[in-house]
């Protein structure tokens, strides 16, 4: 079968490999769609933490279930996706119902080889029913679940002002699920095209360009003299994260969905006087996946509008680097397999 390997930062190479053989407790998926995410792009440019080369990228996947062992309720030929965070089941996080941050976590396409392949073997416990969704929709469940998990961590109350920083695919998920949770959403980004997308497609009332010098004042005006009680970072930018502490209201919560390699710096007195809460949001859970699928089925979100670029697997190497450039206008690139 054909694979696409990131051999080192900035380099992709098509290679061949043996088709996986069914193992006990596993399932084999014939891959149909691969969504390109920030993790893939950061790995390509050499800025992704927890990463070693060479690595086959890809974890936003959907496909046809062709073989399985110990997957009750599933059927051969079913359209599926899967939860790409493989947990040990016995560590303290797993015992406490948080397999998404398992001590021994292996993320498909990050710690182990991922889904830029014709066929992929995954643990049967990770399978998720397609529930009548299309391959495109199913490949978008995982990135939306990342946003949904971050919003669940924030514990939003109705009509709270929530500032989402970063309007990339993960940020779009956070925006959507903050809205569904009843928040008044404000989006901050440096890309006017993405801010326009949020206004036109996500019906976001408040959008701000982070390059403007008056962001602080605009936020205060929008929130009626206060600041947002919840700040969500979906950029993975050290500068954006460090700068965002000033945008949080007293008593507020700051949720880091985005991830970067460096240090976080903030004024302890400023943070302390707010009695603020800082938390990370890692991956997603089965409940998040089910919530996303239910919202899709109930037409609360239409993620297919995120797909701006569609490409065949044989063309990925040619175009991949271009998706790092803002002028490409990419929000979500979707790879179609034969």
The answer to whether residues 150 and 192 touch, using CB atoms and an 8 Å cutoff, is no
3-state secondary structure of 301: coil
Q: Kindly tell me the burial class for residue 6, based on how many C-beta atoms sit within 10 Å of its own C-beta (0-12, 13-18, 19 or more).
A: buried
| CA–CA dist 117, 4 (Å, integer) | 7
For the chain, the distance separating the N- and C-terminal CA atoms, rounded to the nearest angstrom, is 12
Quick one: DSSP state of residue 295? H
How far apart are the C-alpha atoms of 52 and 111, rounded to whole Å? 7
Domain boundaries, given as residue ranges, for the chain: 2-139+302-336, 147-280
Q: Which CATH superfamily is domain 2-139+302-336 in?
A: Medium-chain alcohol dehydrogenases, catalytic domain (3.90.180.10)
- Confidence check: pLDDT of 63 > 90: yes
The answer, yes or no, to whether residue 243 has pLDDT greater than 90, is yes
Whole-number Å distance between alpha carbons of 296 and 306: 13
Q: Residues with Cβ < 8 Å from 40, sequence gap 6 or more? A: 57, 58, 109
| For residue 56, pLDDT beyond 80 | yes
Q: Using pLDDT thresholds of 50, 70 and 90, give the confidence band for residue 50.
A: confident
Residue 61 has pLDDT above 90, yes or no: yes
Share of the chain above pLDDT 70, in %: 100
Output the pLDDT for position 261: 84
pLDDT at residue 177 tops 80:
yes
Question: What does pLDDT average to over the chain?
Answer: 96
In this prediction, residues 92-100 reach a mean pLDDT of 97
Are 39 and 136 spatial neighbours (Cβ–Cβ below 8 Å)? no
**Residue 327 binned pLDDT confidence (cut-offs 50, 70, 90):** confident
The answer on pLDDT for 11 being more than 80 is yes
Whether 93 and 59 have beta carbons less than 8 Å apart is answered as: no
Can you give the pLDDT at residue 105? 97
pLDDT of residue 316: 97
What's the confidence (pLDDT) of residue 7? 97
Q: pLDDT of 249-298, one tens digit each?
A: 999 999 999 988 889 999 999 999 999 999 999 999 999 999 999 999 99
The CATH architecture annotation of domain 147-280 reads 3-Layer(aba) Sandwich (3.40)
What pLDDT band is residue 51 in, cutting at 50, 70 and 90? Answer: confident
Per-residue model confidence (pLDDT) at position 39: 87
């Amino acid at each position: 079968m054909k694979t696409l390997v990131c051999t080192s930062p900035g380099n992709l190479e098509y290679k061949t490999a043996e088709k996986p053989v069914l193992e006990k407790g596993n399932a084999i998926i014939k891959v149909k769609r691969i969504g390109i995410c920030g993790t893939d792009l950061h790995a390509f440019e050499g800025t992704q933490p927890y990463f070693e080369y060479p690595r086959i990228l890809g974890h936003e996947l959907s496909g046809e279930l062709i073989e399985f062992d110990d997957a009750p309720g599933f059927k051969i030929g079913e359209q599926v996706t899967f939860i790409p965070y493989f947990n040990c089941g016995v560590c303290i996080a797993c015992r406490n119902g948080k397999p998404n941050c398992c001590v021994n976590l292996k993320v498909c396409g990050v710690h182990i080889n991922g889904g830029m392949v014709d066929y992929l073997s995954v643990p049967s416990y990770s399978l998720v029913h397609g529930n009548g969704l299309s391959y495109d929709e199913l490949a978008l469940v995982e990135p939306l679940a990342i946003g949904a998990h971050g919003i669940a961590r924030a514990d939003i109350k109705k009509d709270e002002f929530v500032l989402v920083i970063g309007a990339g695919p993960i940020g779009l998920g956070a925006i959507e699920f903050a809205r569904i949770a009843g928040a008044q959403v404000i989006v901050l980004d440096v890309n006017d095209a993405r801010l326009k997308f949020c206004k036109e497609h996500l019906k976001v009332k408040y959008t701000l360009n982070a390059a403007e010098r008056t962001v602080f004042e605009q936020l205060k005006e929008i929130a009626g003299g206060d600041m947002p009680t919840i700040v969500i970072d979906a950029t993975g930018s050290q500068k954006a994260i460090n700068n965002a502490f000033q945008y949080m209201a007293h008593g507020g919560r700051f949720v880091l969905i985005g991830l970067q390699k460096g240090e976080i710096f903030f004024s302890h007195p400023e943070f302390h006087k707010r009695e603020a809460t800082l938390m990370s949001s890692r991956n997603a859970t089965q409940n998040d996946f089910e919530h996303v699928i239910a919202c899709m089925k109930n037409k609360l979100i239409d993620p297919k509008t995120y797909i701006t670029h569609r490409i065949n697997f044989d063309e990925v190497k040619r175009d991949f680097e271009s998706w790092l450039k803002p002028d490409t206008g990419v929000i979500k690139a979707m790879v179609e397999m034969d």
